[in-house]
Structure 1
């Protein structure tokens, strides 16, 4: 259900938003912006490599969007971050990244963090607890961080998988561990399914410190992410279970709403938990 439009105080500057991607995430974000759900933000245009006929804003090429907007929201995949991220920031436009999996490329991450004068932001997507993980790093490094992601087998199939692994996924009648590695190595193998791993790595401060376990479960009606972390200052456990998005089962229904929450924080909505 859509929220009522939010009153924008006169002193709040309005961010002109260019939305990249008109898919499962972009449609929800764009429609919410179009009806005024986010105080201080308005949808200025859509960027997509396909013709868009049902969007509530005009469609422009990427270069034109950067000229017209002061904030670009990426909701189209890691390739967009790699190709356009630095150019957006160097143009002076801010960038909100949903496909955080692109940042497992350390060189790219370093370039984005150094680029400017635009500012780069990242959304936490389908997982919680990242703010606390970032906060406890002020007490000292985390000694152990483990993310276990469980999804339906069909959403995890990848072109690089051999016939034996594909057969195990397609015939599984119980949970199957598909891959185990670091938050640097695993998202590369599952570019549409493990942005959460990269988000946890951002919060923990080191993708090589985060162990990621990917599990396929034919009974997983809900996508599950479990984060377990510990250090000399304490131990932490977060578990979330989400319904997959009907239009794109590789992502969770909550993801566009996480993007909207990030947009509200960037745009200065009061009452936000930061």
Structure 2
């Protein structure tokens, strides 16, 4: 009989609450929620014991990161060297190539990544095996309020707040953009991971006051073909910086790791 996967969840926010509740209600066969890690006292809000990160590593087979890039940077290697596996939702942390190398080299725990709010990554990975993609572009469009950052100049923030239509906020590569928008552009890193080159993915970030749906458009071409994927998601009501679909992408990854990859969630 296959043993049950003991899962530790880091973060009880917009992503963590959905994932944790589904696990606690036995929504993923073969997996159970063993504990929750969060820097806020959760009390009865958590459906499993709230523990320290060190305790979670000792208790669990798999740690699910649902709390931001900082968690991956601070704890990722420690999780993996302990022999516990790690599922990363905040793929933007992997734009730090030194960190990415250390995580991929660490063990005996294994590191996994979830695609989150964008599709087509498996196809891009398959095409990459045929040869390099010459041109990869991502355009992400979100509500202005979800894109405001401390580093922005007052003039740009003023244009975003006063905009009646789309405003380009930043243009760069998948190496640059997730660092500037750590809570809202993990998609750029996910595309780059699939393509295998942070600098090959050119990214535009657009603020649009009419963006009731968060939109990601991926365009890629190379010697073997041309590909275009467009997704439009409802933002999460509790945290508009992330899409409502993201926790369900995490749950699908969990189902695969628990041995139920054919299950539709």
TM interval, shorter chain, is over 0.9
> What are structure 2's unaligned runs of at least 5 residues?
none
Matched, 1:197 2:188: yes
Q: Paired residue for 1:31?
A: 21
Q: Paired residue for 1:5?
A: none
CA distance in 1, matches of 2:127, 2:215: 24
Matched, 1:45 2:35: yes
TM-score normalised by the chain length of structure 2: 0.98
Q: Paired residue for 1:8?
A: none
How far apart are residue 13 of structure 1 and its match?
2.1
- Residues 176-255 of structure 1 aligned to structure 2 (within 5 Å): 176-255=167-246
Q: Paired residue for 2:150?
A: 159
Q: From 12, 18, 27, give the equivalent of 1:22.
A: 12
- Residues 1-274 of structure 1 aligned to structure 2 (within 5 Å): 11-53=1-43, 54-271=45-262
How far apart are residue 12 of structure 1 and its match?
2.6
Give secondary structure in 2 for the equivalent of 1:251: coil
For the aligned residues, what is the CA RMSD?
A: 0.9
Q: Deviations over 1:243-264 (max 9, x none)?
A: 0000000000000000000000
CA distance in 2, matches of 1:41, 1:203: 27
CA distance in 2, matches of 1:109, 1:25: 23
CA distance in 1, matches of 2:2, 2:250: 20
> What are structure 1's unaligned runs of at least 5 residues?
1-10
Q: Deviations over 1:34-75 (max 9, x none)?
A: 011111110000001111121110001000110010100000
How far apart are residue 272 of structure 1 and its match?
5.2
How far apart are residue 129 of structure 1 and its match?
0.3
CA distance in 2, matches of 1:73, 1:249: 21
